[in-house]
Amino acid sequence: MSGKRVLVVGGGVIGLLSAYLLGRAGIAVSILDAQGVGLEASWAGGGIVSPLYPWRYSQPVTALAHWSQDFYTRFADELIPLSGIDPEVYVTGLYWLDLEDADQALSWAGRQRRVLLDVPIDAVEAAVPALSVGFSRALHMPGVANVRNPRLVRSLREALLRMPNVTLHEHTPVTELLLESRQVIGVRSTCGDHYGERVVVAAGAWSGKLLSPLGVQLPVEPVKGQMILFKCAQDFLPSMVLAGGRYAIPRRDGHILVGSTLEHAGFDKTPTDQALASLRASAETLLPALRDAEVVGHWAGLRPGSPEGIPFIGEVPEHPGLWLNCGHYRNGLVLAPASCRLLADLMLGREPIIDPAPYSPSGRLQ
C-alpha cells in the first residue's frame, strides 16, 4: 500500500501509536481528533502497564498484554530523542493485597510463566512503610511499570509532528464515514472531507457512533471512571499497591493517583462528590498518611467498554477500507503496543505477531 493514505480517526494512544507504526513503515497517515489529541481516556487513566487482575482475563487479552508488557521501557528510549519529552516509564512493581483468588492467580502465573510471588506480609510492610497494617497476604509482580500517560501522548504527538508523512488534524470532529457503494473511502469532518485508501476508527468510547449510520452495531460503550491525585514526598510510595478493587500509583515526583470507579453513565464525564468521598476513603484505608494529604486533582474519563474487554482489530468485511482498533475497555495503554502492531501487520500484509482471529470484527459486529 505504498503511496496510499491511511486516515486514523481518534488521537488517543491507540490512534497515535497506530499512526506512528504505520508512519515508520513509510505510509502516509492523517490523524483526525475532535479536540487536542490524547485528552480523553488516554489522559484520564492511571497508566499501569498490566491489566489490574491479569489472571481474570481471557486468552485474547492475555496474549496482547504479554506481547506489550515490556514495550514501554524500550519505546521511551526511542521516543525521547525523537520528541524531547520523557513519558516517564517507572518500574515499581505491583502488590496485590488480600485477594480472594490469590491461589488462582499463582496457578495462572505458573501456566503463563509470569513472575508472581507470594510474599510474607511483614516483608511488604517493610518495603512499603506507608501501607496500612492489617493485611494478611500479598502477591507481588516485581517487573510491572507505570507510564505517565499524559506525557506519553505528548511525546507521541511531538514525534508524529516531526514525521514528514504524518499529518495531524486536531479540533477536527469527524461527523460521518464516506462511502462509494459499500467501500469506505474517507471521512467527513467539520473542517471538510478527507480521503484515504483505508480508514481506521480508533475513537475509543465514541467509535460506535461513527459506525451506527452504516447499520453496523459495534458493542463498545462508555464506562465512566473517576480518579483522584495527591501530592506527597518523592519517596512516599515506592511501589504500586492494589486492595479492595482500588489502586494507588506513584509517579516519580511524588504524585499519587488513586482510582478508580466503574460507572455506566453514558457519555457524562462530570466528577461527583460521591466518587470523591469514596476514593478518598479507599486511599486512606490503603495508605493512612493520605488522610492529611491534599487532593490536587479529581477527574473522570470514559473507557471504551467491550464484551470481555477484547478489542476489535481488523477490517470490517461488509465495508472494505474500514478498519477498527477500538474497544480496549480498562486496558488501552497496556494493550496498545500489541494492538497497534497487529493492526499494522494486517494492513501491511506482514506475518501477524499473534493470531488475529479473536479480535477480528468478522462475526463480532451486530
Contacts of 256 (CB under 8 A, 6+ apart): 229, 230, 231, 232, 236, 237, 248, 249, 250, 283, 287, 290, 293
Flag whether 45 is in a domain.
yes
336 shares a domain with 214: yes
Q: Is residue 74 part of a domain?
A: no
Q: Could you tell me if 206 and 299 lie in one domain? A: no
pLDDT digits (tens, 9 = 90+) for 310-350: 999 999 999 999 999 999 999 999 999 999 999 999 999 99
What whole-number percentage of the chain has pLDDT above 70? Answer: 99
- For residue 4, the model assigns a pLDDT of 83
Q: Does residue 187 have a pLDDT over 60?
A: yes
- Tens digit of each residue's pLDDT (9 = 90 or more) over 90-102: 999 999 999 999 9
Please check whether residues 352 and 243 belong to one and the same domain.
no
The answer to whether residues 301 and 258 belong to one domain is yes
CB 165 within 8 A of CB 149: no
Query: Is 254 found in the same domain as 111?
Result: yes
Residue 275 sits in the same domain as residue 177 = no
98 and 161 in a single domain? The answer is no
CATH assignment at residue 137 = 3.30.9.10
Q: Does pLDDT of 366 surpass 80?
A: no
Taking each continuous run of H as one helix and of E as one strand, the counts in the chain are 10, 19
DSSP SS3 for 82:
helix
Owning domain of residue 10: 5-50+151-218+307-359
Q: What is the pLDDT of residues 117-174, one digit of tens each?
A: 999 999 999 999 999 999 999 999 999 999 999 999 999 999 999 999 999 999 999 9
Mean pLDDT of 227-239: 95
CA dihedral sign of residues 181, 316, 173, 36 = negative
The reported pLDDT for the residue numbered 363 is: 87
Last residue of one domain, picked from the residues 305, 327, 348: 305
**Do the domain assignments include residue 129?**
yes
301 and 311, same domain (yes or no) = no
The span from the CA of 150 to the CA of 39, in Å, is: 8
Grade residue 75 by pLDDT with cuts at 50, 70 and 90.
Answer: very high
Please state whether beta strands 117-119 and 295-305 pair in parallel, antiparallel, or not at all (unpaired). unpaired
Cell reading at 149: 500517560
Categorize the per-residue pLDDT at 70 as very low, low, confident or very high, splitting at 50, 70 and 90.
confident
Domain shared by 239 and 127, yes or no: yes
Is 124 in the same domain as 243? yes
* Dihedral pair phi/psi, residue 296, rounded to 5°: -100, -5
Please say which residue of 288, 305, 322 terminates a domain.
305
* Residue type present at position 132: S
Q: Tens digit of pLDDT for each residue in 192-222?
A: 999 999 999 999 999 999 999 999 999 999 9
Residue 320 forms part of a structural domain: yes
Residue 65: inside a domain, yes or no? Answer: no
Give the model confidence (pLDDT) of 10-22 as tens digits. Answer: 999 999 999 999 9
pTM score: 0.95
- Residue 315 belongs to some domain of the structure: yes
Q: Quick check: is 109 in a domain? A: yes
For residue 50, pLDDT over 50 is answered with yes
Under DSSP, the state recorded for 254 is S
Phi and psi torsions of 273, nearest 5°: -65, -35
334 belongs to a structural domain: yes
Mark whether 234 and 118 lie in a shared domain. yes
Residue percentage of the chain with pLDDT more than 90: 97
State the CB neighbour count (10 A cutoff) for residue 223: 20
Domain co-membership, 247 together with 196: no
Q: For residues 365 and 323, is the Cβ–Cβ distance under 8 A?
A: no
pLDDT band at 1, cuts 50/70/90?
Answer: very low
Q: Convert the pLDDT of each residue in 263-309 to its tens digit.
A: 999 999 999 999 999 999 999 999 999 999 999 999 999 999 999 99
Whichever domain contains 202, its CATH number is: 3.50.50.60
Q: DSSP letter string over 284-306?
A: HHH-GGGGGSPEEEEEEEEEEE-
Order of all β-strands in the sheet with 295-305: 117-119, 138-141, 94-97, 240-243, 246-250, 255-259, 221-231, 295-305
Per-residue cell: 62? 492475555
The pLDDT value recorded for residue 185 is 97
Number of domains in the chain: 2
Q: List, in sequence order, every residue forming a beta bridge with 96; answer none if it has no partner.
A: 139, 242
Cell of 265: 453513565
pLDDT tops 80 at residue 2: no
